[in-house]
Chains A and B, each alone.
Chain A
Amino acid sequence: MMPIEPATIATAREKEIALVAWLRERGRVAIGFSGGVDSAYLACVAVDALGSANVLAIIGKSASYPAAQWAAARGVADRFGVPVLEIDTHEMEDPRYAANPANRCYFCKTELWSLLVPAARERGIDTVIDGTNADDMAGHRPGAVAANENAVESPLLIIGLTKAEIRALSQERDIPTWAQPSSPCLSSRIPYGIAVTATRLATIERAEAALRELGISGDLRVRYHDDLARVELGSVELERWLEPEASERLAAAVRNAGFERVAIDLRGFRSGSLNVLTGVSAA
């Protein structure tokens, strides 16, 4: 994690003041809460700004949401007094989602918000927000369309907080997610056009969990290519796990999770790697 410059943290603090003001204007908020860096920060600031009685963090649970992520979300909520509501989502039952088109995230988020927004309204909360930040608009993000259609607001984006600033402010608040790698849903490991199934997601989740147990830290993706798992690691871990003995242990762990063949990507971790592979984004 790159250290943040003093000037940057000063700017970030000013933005946080603006974020608190924005939240106070709303009075009560419900947050789409995954326990990732952004929504964890947003939930903690909201509790500080509004009090826990005026905040509800809603977790949408499904097969594409890793158990480790759920545990991290609950850990942050417990520690910082964030009230949580858990809702089961059923995007896997939507054939438009399961077919895994390039706009798959749109169908997932449509399902998510179609459940979360009414749940918030039933509890007298009119403002529903998410953790989209100022960096997020650069990539391929069809899920943002679903948020707009459901009147979900993105205060981190509105205020202009970047991922680096959110990490720095999270560190100041001692929120454990500050150094957590980005953690998109498990379906992002499956190339577009290859069906998303509960079995495939479970295999990917087992493989990534097994690699974490081996001690791999930082960015990690197990990309699904039918019988083959293509493992993407951050640059430091890549160096380490290409060593002969280490690579044998890595391969064994991934095979035990259910893949027949295992390969390490020679360039290492790239966010949106499968978008490049399938031609959705430029290389």
Chain B
Amino acid sequence: MSAAGLRSALVAAGLEAEVEGRERLALISPTDAVEARAIAERRGEVMALAIAHGFSHAALELAPTRRRSPALQTDAALPGD
């Protein structure tokens, strides 16, 4: 399973999202509502990409309330702040 590989494949397909690998589940967190809509509409294609990267399941996170990826935490408070 390669979450990074799947994320790159999604970007190459024009879909911006973070991907978190949870064993064989790819948890796809879109960057905004527009991307969420695009992933939902192209879910067959997204599913095929997930399988190609070794996942058995792919799920679209709904209205993510926070991000876990360090790449998306650039405005997070620093230790000691």
Which residues of A are interface residues toward B (Cβ below 8 A)?
225, 228, 230, 242, 244, 247-248, 250-251, 260-267, 273, 276-279, 283
Interface size range on B against A? 20 to 34
Are the CB atoms of A230 and B47 closer together than 8 Å?
A: no
Most buried by B among A250, A264, A276: A264
Complex Cα spacing A230 to B29, Å = 13
Known A265-B58, A267-B47, A267-B58: A225·B63 in contact at CB below 8 Å: no
Which residues of B are interface residues toward A (Cβ below 8 A)?
22-25, 27-28, 33, 36-37, 39-40, 43, 46-47, 50-51, 56-65
Are the CB atoms of A267 and B63 closer together than 8 Å?
A: no
Are the CB atoms of A266 and B63 closer together than 8 Å?
A: no
Are the CB atoms of B57 and A228 closer together than 8 Å?
A: no
User: Shortest distance in angstroms between B34's beta carbon and chain A's nearest beta carbon?
Assistant: 10
Cβ contacts under 8 Å, B59 to chain A: 230, 263-266
Complex Cα spacing A174 to B58, Å = 39
Known A244-B33, A244-B37: A283·B56 in contact at CB below 8 Å: yes
Complex Cα spacing A279 to B54, Å = 13
Are the CB atoms of A267 and B57 closer together than 8 Å?
A: yes
State the main secondary structure of chain B at its contact with A.
Answer: mixed
State the main secondary structure of chain A at its contact with B.
Answer: mixed
Cβ contacts under 8 Å, B50 to chain A: 266
Given contacts A266-B58, A266-B60, 12 further A-B contacts (CB under 8 A): A228-B22, A247-B40, A263-B59, A264-B59, A264-B60, A266-B39, A266-B50, A267-B57, A267-B58, A276-B24, A276-B57, A283-B56
Known A225-B22, A244-B36, A277-B24: A250·B60 in contact at CB below 8 Å: no
Complex Cα spacing A248 to B22, Å = 23
Complex Cα spacing A223 to B50, Å = 19
Are the CB atoms of A242 and B57 closer together than 8 Å?
A: no
